[in-house]
């Protein structure tokens, strides 16, 4: 799997390789037999239709990077698999599983689909609309010893009513000891309508509390999370060194939460009309180029929270709620949120956030308070921020901001952007931590003098924007 920012190979991109041979199955027993005997370069098609399956279809074959094994519906969405189960990918490599609509059930407490102990597996352009007949279920899990370099892309996960998640990333070390799946890529998926109202109803969980200090190097990019109204954590990060980039969270009751883990990059995401936004624990995170508008939550569901903690950092497995430490929040735009935009600290968590950098952010609000210290941080550098609106500046240090009308206008894409002559243009102050951003929220190059906020006024092509259902899922371009 490519590292963030590097080109994808033909296997990783949305291109199916030319097969060495194509086999067509018209019954599930034929499909099982063809999969069991598949060799690198095989393309196995299941004829369009509706099938009822009783036991998992095991996929344990190995292709190669140049000649993966492709298991696909005849046409994307043309095959529906109902009944009790569908696929279990186990010990496989260089396999592409593509184009199925899955409507089967899930046994109580079980995982509907597992990619276990596998590498370089691509699960793409599938629709998961499972029968949620149990109280607890995980719909798709990456797990098992030596798991890594898998890609989950262009899928639709929707209408989940039970506890637990649409998608979980776990895994173990190759020797079976505690570990986590490595270098997986999750992109261009739709996560829509998760309605279990309670703890454990996240859409996406990357790791868990005991895996918090372990580096996963997961890239979560260009996904849409919409109307996910279960757990307050729409996305729950519980491992280290992951990247969340270019995702859109719209009309959800929850937030993106860095619950456990360190060294997370959250860059260029769009948070639109959610109850929450981001809640940050742990250390050495970079929060940059994000756009947050219309958040309405209070308490743990604030727009952007840098939390105080119950423990120092995340040095031990299973550590709960480590304080936000050495976190940089820079070049973000927060506009039209209420009652607060930026909260530092939390009541009931006694260890203050420390060594924070709040730089070159744009905060605009008409209600409540822009910056609220629930517990004053131990070490804060604030510089280059621009605050505006009838909302009180609150606890932002006076030397850390200017108060001036940024002259924002509502653009055709629905976002509030600086107009010509805006005082945000070229006004960014030098970073105190050597931050070197190459682009803004639109993925436009930050050339010359940098602008305050997430949007660099530039003439280059906009290649990143808020996503809609047309941009993600099985039938997206």
CB atoms within 10 A of CB 115: 30
Asked whether the predicted pLDDT for residue 136 surpasses 90, the reply is: no
d(CA 107, CA 292): 38
- DSSP class of residue 398 equals G
d(CA 248, CA 250): 6
**Helix (H, G, I), strand (E, B), or coil: what is residue 327?**
coil
**Residue 302 contacts by C-beta under 8 Å, 6 or more apart in sequence?**
276, 277, 279, 295, 340, 343
Domain boundaries, the chain: 21-471
Taking only the tens place, the pLDDT of each residue in 13-35 is 577 889 999 999 999 999 999 99
**Helix (H, G, I), strand (E, B), or coil: what is residue 55?**
coil
Taking only the tens place, the pLDDT of each residue in 179-191 is 999 999 999 999 9
The proportion of the chain whose per-residue pLDDT surpasses 90, expressed as a percent, equals 81
What angle (nearest 5°) sits at the alpha carbon of residue 393, between those of residues 392 and 397?
150
Superfamily grouping for domain 21-471: Single-stranded right-handed beta-helix, Pectin lyase-like (2.160.20.10)
What pLDDT sits at residue 391?
Answer: 96
What pLDDT sits at residue 2?
Answer: 36
What pLDDT sits at residue 311?
Answer: 63
Q: Residue 306 in contact with residue 343, Cβ under 8 Å?
A: yes
Q: Round the average pLDDT of the chain to a whole number and report it.
A: 92
d(CA 448, CA 437): 12
d(CA 97, CA 119): 13
What angle (nearest 5°) sits at the alpha carbon of residue 78, between those of residues 154 and 107?
75
**Helix (H, G, I), strand (E, B), or coil: what is residue 300?**
helix
């Amino acid at each position: 799997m490519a590292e963030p920012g590097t080109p994808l190979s033909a296997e990783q991109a949305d291109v199916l390789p030319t097969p060495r041979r194509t086999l067509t199955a018209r019954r599930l027993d034929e499909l099982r037999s063809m999969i069991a005997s598949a060799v690198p370069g095989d393309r196995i098609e299941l004829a369009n239709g509706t099938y009822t399956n009783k036991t998992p279809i095991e996929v344990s074959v190995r292709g190669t990077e140049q000649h993966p094994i492709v298991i696909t519906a005849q046409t994307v969405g043309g095959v529906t698999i109902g009944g009790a189960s569908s696929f279990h990918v186990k010990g496989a490599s260089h396999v592409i599983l593509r184009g199925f609509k899955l409507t089967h059930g899930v046994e109580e407490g079980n995982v509907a689909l597992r990619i276990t102990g596998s590498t370089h597996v691509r699960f793409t352009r599938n629709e998961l609309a499972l029968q949620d007949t149990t109280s607890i279920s995980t719909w798709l899990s990456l797990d098992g010893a030596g798991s890594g370099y898998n890609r989950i892309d262009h899928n639709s996960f929707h209408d989940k009513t039970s506890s637990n998640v649409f998608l979980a990333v776990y895994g173990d070390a190759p020797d079976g000891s505690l570990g986590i799946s490595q270098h997986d890529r999750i992109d261009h998926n739709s996560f829509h309508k998760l309605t279990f109202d309670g703890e454990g109803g996240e859409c996406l969980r990357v790791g868990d509390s005991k895996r918090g200090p372990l580096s996963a190097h997961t890239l979560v990019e260009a996904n849409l999370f919409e109307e996910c109204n279960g757990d307050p954590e729409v996305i729950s990060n519980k491992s280290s060194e992951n990247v969340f980039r270019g995702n859109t969270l719209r009309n959800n009751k929850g937030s993106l939460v860095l619950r456990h883990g360190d060294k997370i990059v959250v860059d260029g995401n769009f948070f639109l009309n959610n109850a929450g936004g981001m809640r940050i624990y742990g250390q050495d995170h970079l929060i940059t180029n994000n756009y947050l508008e219309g958040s309405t939550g209070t308490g743990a569901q604030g727009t952007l929270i840098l939390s105080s903690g119950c423990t120092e950092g995340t040095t031990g497995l299973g550590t709960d709620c480590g304080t936000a430490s050495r976190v940089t929040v820079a070049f973000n735009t927060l506009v039209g949120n209420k009652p607060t935009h930026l909260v530092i600290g939390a009541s009931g968590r006694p260890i203050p956030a420390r060594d924070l950098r709040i730089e070159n952010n744009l905060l605009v609000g008409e209600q409540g308070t822009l910056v609220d210290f629930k517990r004053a941080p131990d070490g804060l550098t604030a510089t280059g921020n621009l605050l505006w609106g009838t909302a009180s500046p609150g606890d932002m240090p006076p030397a850390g901001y200017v108060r001036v009308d940024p002259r924002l206008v509502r653009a055709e894409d629905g976002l509030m952007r600086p107009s010509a002559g805006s005082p945000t243009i070229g006004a960014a102050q030098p970073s105190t931590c050597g931050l070197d951003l190459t682009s803004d929220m639109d993925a436009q190059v930050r050339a010359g003098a940098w602008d305050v906020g997430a949007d660099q006024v530039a003439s280059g092509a906009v290649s990143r924007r808020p996503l809609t259902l047309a941009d993600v899922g099985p039938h997206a371009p």
